[in-house]
Amino acid sequence: MAKFELKLPKMGESVAEATITNWLKNVGDRIEADETVLEIATDKVDSEVPSEVEGTLVEILFQVDDVVQVGQTIAIIETEGGDVAPAAKQETPAVATIEKTVEAAQTTATPVDFSASEKFFSPLVKNIAKEEGISIAELEAINGTGKDGRVTKNDILAFVANKGTSAPTAAVAQKVEPAKVAAPMAIATKAAPVSVNGADEIVEMDRMRKLISGYMVQSLATSAHVQSFIEVDVTNIVNWRNKVKNAFEKREGEKLTFTPIFMEAVAKALKDFPGMNISVEGDYIIKKKNINLGMAAALPNGNLIVPVIKNADQLNLVGMAKAVNDLGNRAKAGKLKPDDTQGGTYTVTNVGTFGSVFGTPIINQPQVGILALGAIRKVPAVIETPEGDFIGIRQKMFLSHSYDHRVVDGALGGSFVKRVADILEAWDINREI
């Protein structure tokens, strides 16, 4: 018999870890090749991990809610074949580095009683804390950047590095001055509420809703939100789409909605105003070379996800429609991959889908702007002609632009949304598809 190490697969360039949410197989179960063994969740989407081989599950190395790094062995599968050496003990480079530092400093690790804390710490973080002799008070004081404010590997390594610049490793166990440690961003855990009259239903937020809740609060606490609104006449777009949508679907096998038209306009405006295609990291502004448009999509369970159209400015309208439909359909079916939600540089959300005239969306960090598309409505409007002005029925909508006033002033924020409006109003009714 041989033993195969089932590892957490690479899920995208920016995805380094995932949380185990459910084991579909138990020790002793028979597993077929390509059969799903467990379910995992990144900070954006849920995924499945299949087995690469056929065999029997003989060992599970992580439990539900454990955070696992990409490349770590999560289970052992016994297969038929020649004997091989038992699976090597999993050791990440970060832990190895810490251990060498500890040995060089000739310090002794201080035991940490994690049961004294109500916060969740991953096995890797616990391991590093033990090796470094970090007290539970110090660990709780670290500003966690993971989901729900959890302390990640990078958080604790940064804490160790900062401590190391001012004191030997052995000094890590000393009391930390409160003024030098940032307060955690995690939302305090509260006891479950109790219905007084017994008639109210109390339901705990699911994992994704907890993440969304944390992101929204964090964004409002991070960015100075300000909004600009503009009304747009989209009569030409509505008439053009009505004229070509059937031929488009017959030729391309795709429905032509308004969304790709708006996304194309936003991509063009971002090329004209690259100051909106940036992100903020501390005191630094990062100017993005690629235009990757996030497309907020509502899920059947009421939650929200933001898949990303990569290099949106390089797509023609047909390519944009295919990208929008593909991401939207896979989002509803729960088939998005972690990399599908990474790398966005600007986000668009369609609040008009639910009948809203306009909205004030919250910025998707670390981006600096988000555009809300309002519902298209027939309204009376003044129409200017060479013969004079008259009242007519026009198709209009509102664009609501939220932007980060830390780095985007009103001139840029207003000019950008005005550029989007100009592109839409200048739509050629005779445009070929």
Q: CA–CA separation, 245 vs 229, rounded Å? A: 29
Question: Which long-range contacts does 105-110 make (Cβ < 8 Å, 24+ apart)?
Answer: 105/168, 105/169, 105/170, 107/133, 107/168, 107/169, 107/170, 108/133, 109/133, 110/134, 110/135, 110/173
| Spacing of C-alpha 292 from chain mean position | 13
Residue 213 neighbours by CB under 8 Å, 6+ apart: 187, 205
Cβ count within 10 A of residue 298:
16
**Options 29, 326, 405, 422, the catalytic residue:** 405
| Spacing of C-alpha 122 from chain mean position | 20
Give the closest residue to 16 by CA, choosing from 342, 377, 335, 317: 342
Q: CA–CA separation, 163 vs 376, rounded Å? A: 56
Q: Based on the residue annotation, tell me whether 409 is a catalytic residue of this protein.
A: yes
Cβ count within 10 A of residue 327:
21
Q: CA–CA separation, 117 vs 188, rounded Å? A: 13
Instruction: Give CA separation, 135 vs 50, 86, 129, 253, in Å.
Output: 38, 34, 8, 60
Q: At CA 285, angle to CA 282 and CA 289, rounded to 5?
A: 135
**Options 340, 409, 422, 428, the catalytic residue:** 409
Answer whether 398's CB lies under 8 Å from 232's CB.
Answer: yes
Q: Based on the residue annotation, tell me whether 155 is a catalytic residue of this protein.
A: no
Q: CA–CA separation, 245 vs 250, rounded Å? A: 9
Question: Does 366 sit behind a cis peptide bond, omega within 30 degrees of 0 on the bond before it?
Answer: yes
> Which residues are identified as catalytic?
405, 409
